[in-house]
Structure 1
Amino acid sequence: HFDINAIPKRQFIQKLCEMCPNALEKSRLEYFLGSEEGESDLIQYTIREKRSILLVFRDFPSIRPSLSQLIQIMPRIRPRAFSIASSNRTSSENVELCVSVVKYSAILNTIRHGLCSNYLSHLYAGSIVPGWIDRGSIEFPNLEKLKEKVSLVLICTGTGIAPMRAFLNELEMSFAKKSVEIYMYFGCRHEKDGDFLYENELKKYVSRGMIKLLRVAFSRDQIEHEKKIYVQDLLEEDKDIMKPILLDGKTQIYITGSSGAMPRQVQNTLEFIAFGTNASQSDENALHAFQKRIHTECW
């Protein structure tokens, strides 16, 4: 299937320029491709304004490619990957996903919808969805092979809670749960409105002692002009608790969620807690060994 909502790349604009029959429209496309200023304006026109291929065709109406030309130049809809949010120990026949329905306003005052998330949200019970199961980029400890007590620090934001929840489901059904101490930091926008995903489940794990520490950052619940609170802020607040845990060579740290600034900021905070303000100047081998214990799955 063609992805008409994709943001066009430079190569696509080049192909449109080659087949454009209108002199005025062609000169505009040539401008985008022919100078540094034009290249900068092309980035503004496509990436910053999130202009889709469909809108580009509307802006250049003289371009009417044939089916064979479309097949050559149009990007295909790429498969989307979602982290599984359940364990086959709790249900061997079902796979649960935790998906945020993407909807936002672009600069052009148009509403953009996430293609796959909205597709999933409009399915009805019994719908057949093509998919596959693949190994994720993080690997939790094998609970059946644990021979000593281990601490795990789980840090996640938004739907990044999915793999954490899957592991907690697995841990709940395992005899090894008494050998694992969980320190969990979760970030979302609001305490209400359904943003606190799996709230009751997490609180149940806390009450049963399966999660030793649960901290939740609600980044949009602050009063206007107050500093927003993120997971890295809670980590820093807990630095006296977390430092010995982080410096324990058996502790494993997992970071999941948005691939924006969050993973880097969280890792910087972890290094600051463990090694102080001169983390980059600390013993290189110790810092490298610490970084190897940090596992990320961000998108």
Structure 2
Amino acid sequence: MDDCSLQELTEEKLVVFVAATTGQGDDPANMKTFFQTLWNKRSNRNLLKDMYYGVLGLGDSSYQKFNFAAKRLNKLIQILGAKPIINIGLADDQHELGPDFIIDKWVKELFEILLNLYPLPSGLQPITEYFLPPPKYHIKFVESESLDVQSNVENNPKPSDAFSRTNEIEMKISSITKNLRKTSVDHFQDVRLIEFDVTSLSYSHNPGDILTIQPQNLDEYVEEFIECLGLERHLKFYIFSGTNNFKPSPLLPQPCTVEQCVKCYFDIQCVPKRHFFELLSHFTTDENEKEKFLEFASAEGQEEMFNYCTRPKRSILEALADFPFTKNNIPFEYLFNLIPPIKPRDYSIASSCKTIPGRAQILMAVVNYKTILKRPRLGLCSNWLARLELGSLVYIGIKKGTLLFPDSKSECPPVVMIAPGTGCAPFRSYIQERIAFDNSDNLILIFGCRGKDKDYFFKEEWEYLSEKKKLLLFCAFSRDQEDKIYIQHVMKDNYQELWKYIGNANCKIYYAGNAKRIPIDVYEALQYICEKALNLSTKEAEAYMKKNIDKRYQTESWA
């Protein structure tokens, strides 16, 4: 949106806005300037009086400020005089059918309205729903060039390589300096402390910042994909586009081998979306397969697609293998339409550059779980990283996170940090930084895990600081006794002690961890503390939370 000037916007008669929400209800990076420009003009109630518009929000209901950016934009545009042609759409990533559950209905209604407002000229018809678009890129194979196979498929990028993921984040080469398992060997989950050399990055990280990592596909999946589609792994190609300013992805050297493309670019482990099956319907030679693809691509077939793909987490690789009359008929250039590129993964930095200069650590659970499918589901980035040896080279970058902590150098208000499992990562960074500045007053950590001897991350650090009176520590070990004890139980049991800090109007409260039920339980525990400490009714405590706690409570959660 930032590419659209105010002058251009005021000249438009019809605009459709699509706005995601990030962090604590924040605007996405490419909308901030746009929104601020409009906000500065809010006194002009006729600025957009000639414009009709619609707003579609992309959000996640596990966050308190669900679709806040879209709601805020929608309200501001109305204030400026624009007229909505459709109610705001609020897509939810947490819905079992995904955001498409809302998007489908909203887009269908939007096009019906638009065709009524702006009928097509005589003789023209809307593009059919299952129209085959042209390929995103053009491919030119180079069979005659000599090929250094090893240099094109090597697992580690060259140290000189660097690229910009967005306008904000520069990705550079880093080496792994630590890769340690932090759970006991008999624990069901492998959690790793991985350390990276960040001396090549110009930006020094702060507490709450994020390490962005560009992963690659696992070798066995690369082999399986190449065999499944019958690709020639060592064939070289150049990639082109019709646009003048086109630059190939830095993950695709020019020329690139098919094998390198599959390994470093195609996200063959992601769960396919509707568009995937819509495209496949054009390439199959079997009517039964075509019928199934069209069912999955239709709005009516979303429950079937959910049961086939989303519920069992079936990957693109596995889906292709299920359709023998299609997989070998896909033109290579259309794979770039079918398969999204591998996205960088974000991890909270778990260390302070003041304590460990030149290094950044992450605390990472290695994703490995079962569904109804025979093969375990393996997280792409976590399993790839866990297998890397010390000295392996990885593309990384650093960006600002959503948790905003008080300045570590100055006198700080109470800071209450609530962390189940690996959620303690950003809090360790902040605690380390506070300790480095000899400023350890009013640090409170509420940590939860399964067992004191299983997955009690940074046990020695926390307990040493607690013993030295530099950290007030509360722990919940859910499986160490017959009755399960979670962090919300510890919070309620210690409400009087916690109220000494939470009752301070300047106290900052943070939650980082799982996005499912725990944030709700933690919020209810905070409300319980207010209710008990102030002798309030449940309704009064709810009102107190909204007025006094919500504005100083931040969360960072993930599914």
Common topology (TM > 0.5)? yes
**Cα separation, partners in 2 of 1:172 and 1:145, compared to 1, 3 Å:** closer
2:526 aligns with one of 263, 270, 278: 270
Partner of 1:21: 285
Q: Is the 8 A contact 1:151 1:181 kept in 2?
A: yes
The answer to whether structure 1 residue 205 and structure 2 residue 458 are counterparts is no
Structure 1 CA distance, aligned partners of 2:332 and 2:542?
61
> SS of 2:271's equivalent?
coil
Partner of 2:506: 250
The answer to whether structure 1 residue 189 and structure 2 residue 450 are counterparts is yes
Structure 2 CA distance, aligned partners of 1:283 and 1:268?
9
> SS of 1:125's equivalent?
coil
Partner of 2:353: 88
> SS of 1:150's equivalent?
coil
**Cα separation, partners in 2 of 1:170 and 1:18, compared to 1, 3 Å:** same
**Amino acid of the structure 1 residue aligned with 2:552:** R
Structure 2 CA distance, aligned partners of 1:106 and 1:283?
39
Structure 2 CA distance, aligned partners of 1:17 and 1:218?
51
1:1-48 CA deviation, whole Å, 9 max, x = no partner?
111110111121211123222111112222334463x32121111111
Partner of 1:171: 434
Q: Is the 8 A contact 1:50 1:107 kept in 2?
A: no
Structure 1 CA distance, aligned partners of 2:324 and 2:506?
62
1:59-84 CA deviation, whole Å, 9 max, x = no partner?
11111311111011211111101111
**Amino acid of the structure 1 residue aligned with 2:292:** R
Structure number with higher strand proportion = 2
**Cα separation, partners in 2 of 1:31 and 1:201, compared to 1, 3 Å:** same
Structure 1 CA distance, aligned partners of 2:493 and 2:387?
41
Partner of 2:311: 48
Shift of 1:55: 0.9
Structure 2 CA distance, aligned partners of 1:99 and 1:23?
45
**Amino acid of the structure 2 residue aligned with 1:151:** P
CA RMSD between the two structures:
1.9
**Number of aligned residues:** 289
2:339 aligns with one of 74, 80, 84: 74
Q: Is the 8 A contact 1:21 1:62 kept in 2?
A: yes
The answer to whether structure 1 residue 97 and structure 2 residue 357 are counterparts is no
Q: Is the 8 A contact 1:150 1:181 kept in 2?
A: yes
Partner of 2:376: 111
Partner of 1:60: 323
Aligned-residue identity in percent: 32
Shift of 1:283: 7.8
1:238-297 CA deviation, whole Å, 9 max, x = no partner?
122223422210111111112222122211221232146755555857623310111112
**Amino acid of the structure 1 residue aligned with 2:456:** F
Give the TM-score of the pair, scaled to structure 1. Answer: 0.90
Q: Which runs of 5+ in 1 are unaligned?
A: none
Partner of 1:155: 418
Partner of 1:8: 272
Structure 2 CA distance, aligned partners of 1:124 and 1:172?
31
Deviates more, 1:157-166 or 1:18-27: 18-27
**Cα separation, partners in 2 of 1:94 and 1:202, compared to 1, 3 Å:** same
Structure 2 CA distance, aligned partners of 1:221 and 1:20?
55
Shift of 1:176: 2.3
**Amino acid of the structure 1 residue aligned with 2:356:** S
> SS of 1:145's equivalent?
coil
**Amino acid of the structure 1 residue aligned with 2:432:** N
Q: Is the 8 A contact 1:255 1:297 kept in 2?
A: yes
Q: Is the 8 A contact 1:86 1:169 kept in 2?
A: yes
Q: Is the 8 A contact 1:182 1:211 kept in 2?
A: yes
Q: Is the 8 A contact 1:161 1:186 kept in 2?
A: yes
Ranges of 4+ aligned residues in structure 1 off by more than 4 Å: 276-286
Deviates more, 1:234-243 or 1:151-160: 234-243
> SS of 2:276's equivalent?
helix
Q: Is the 8 A contact 2:277 2:294 kept in 1?
A: no
**Amino acid of the structure 2 residue aligned with 1:202:** W
**Amino acid of the structure 2 residue aligned with 1:113:** L
Partner of 1:234: 490
**Amino acid of the structure 1 residue aligned with 2:396:** G
Structure number with higher helix proportion = 1
Structure 1 CA distance, aligned partners of 2:285 and 2:480?
54
Q: Is the 8 A contact 1:158 1:188 kept in 2?
A: yes
Q: Is the 8 A contact 2:527 2:545 kept in 1?
A: no
> SS of 1:175's equivalent?
coil
Residues 110-129 of structure 1: pairs in structure 2 closer than 5 A = 110-129=375-394
1:30 aligns with one of 288, 294, 317: 294
Structure 2 CA distance, aligned partners of 1:35 and 1:249?
49
Q: Which runs of 5+ in 2 are unaligned?
A: 1-264
